[in-house]
């Protein structure tokens, strides 16, 4: 098992990609702290899955865009497990809005959760990792942040936040090397309820899939397998990179 004995904190772990990562980490031997904000029932199911594998787990409700809640969450994980070896900044969402109709409130909400949340959780966990001179951080970017409107039209705010995460990943990787590795994953169209919750119709999703060279959407487990790779010693010589997992959608 590639993560045997490790302790991981996964934000936004109640469903979709976050759930898949939490389960994959547990399968590889890690104890997993499960963060959620609104989907408590789903989070409990992830908790049950993780603990059924003989791993330790804890459920923590926290808004990653609020520094006081982030501190509470990190303190609780360290209190329960003694350390954090792996952080996955997965929490995020969007609300569709054209550039000219995008309000300041929606801009702030999306940027706060996706980009500021990644920073706040990383900052709190890094204090601990720096003291231990060890750790791995995996940030969740998006192909939308790399190719912009081509990937997800009507999403300037989300695209900008995700590109900011790419820059943040490189900056943190350089700042905290050689002891701490920081990488990102940029998913494409993945089979979760993310797009539906954002207001994207099924018809638009099917049309977008037609633009994917592999002619299908990705599965959450395909993102999770990359997360396991980046969290493990298999990627010990990789830092500051964004791994695109999009079926070729973002190719020039």
Domain span at residue 181?
A: 7-244
- As a whole number, mean pLDDT of residues 36-60 equals 98
pLDDT in tens, 120-173: 999 999 999 999 999 999 999 999 999 876 555 678 999 999 999 999 999 999
Whether 252 is covered by a domain: the verdict is: no
**What is this structure's pTM?**
0.96
Whether 139 is covered by a domain: the verdict is: yes
Whether 2 is covered by a domain: the verdict is: no
- Assigned token pair, 10: 């996964």
* Number of structural domains the chain divides into: 1
Whether 42 is covered by a domain: the verdict is: yes
Q: Is 237 tagged catalytic?
A: no
Does the N-terminal peptide bond of residue 137 adopt cis geometry, omega within 30 degrees of 0?
no
Rg (CA), the chain: 17
Whether 93 is covered by a domain: the verdict is: yes
CATH number, domain of 27, equals 3.40.50.720
Whether 105 is covered by a domain: the verdict is: yes
How many whole angstroms separate alpha carbon 242 and alpha carbon 69? 28
- Give the length of the chain: 252
């Amino acid at each position: 098992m590639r993560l045997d004995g490790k302790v991981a904190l996964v934000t936004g772990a109640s469903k979709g990609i976050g759930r898949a990562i939490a389960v994959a980490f547990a399968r590889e031997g890690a104890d997993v702290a499960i963060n959620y904000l609104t989907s408590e029932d789903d989070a409990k199911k992830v908790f049950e899955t993780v603990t059924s594998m003989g791993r330790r787990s804890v459920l923590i409700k926290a808004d990653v865009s609020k520094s006081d809640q982030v501190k509470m969450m990190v303190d609780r994980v360290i209190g329960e497990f003694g350390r954090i070896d792996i952080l996955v900044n997965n929490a995020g969402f969007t609300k569709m809005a054209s550039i000219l109709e995008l309000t300041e409130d929606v801009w702030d909400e999306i940027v706060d959760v996706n980009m500021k949340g990644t920073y706040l959780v990383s900052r709190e966990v890094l204090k601990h990792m720096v003291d231990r001179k060890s750790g791995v951080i995996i940030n969740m970017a998006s192909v939308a942040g790399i190719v912009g409107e081509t990937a997800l039209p009507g999403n300037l705010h989300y695209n900008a936040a995700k590109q900011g995460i790419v820059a943040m990943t490189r900056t943190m990787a350089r700042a905290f090397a050689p002891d701490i590795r920081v990488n990102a994953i940029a998913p494409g169209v993945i089979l979760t309820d993310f797009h539906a919750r954002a207001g994207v119709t099924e018809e638009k999703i099917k049309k977008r899939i037609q633009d994917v060279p592999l002619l299908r959407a990705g599965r959450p487990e395909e993102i999770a397998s990359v997360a396991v790779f980046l969290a493990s010693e298999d990627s010990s010589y990789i830092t500051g990179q964004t791994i695109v997992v999009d079926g070729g959608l973002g190719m020039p």
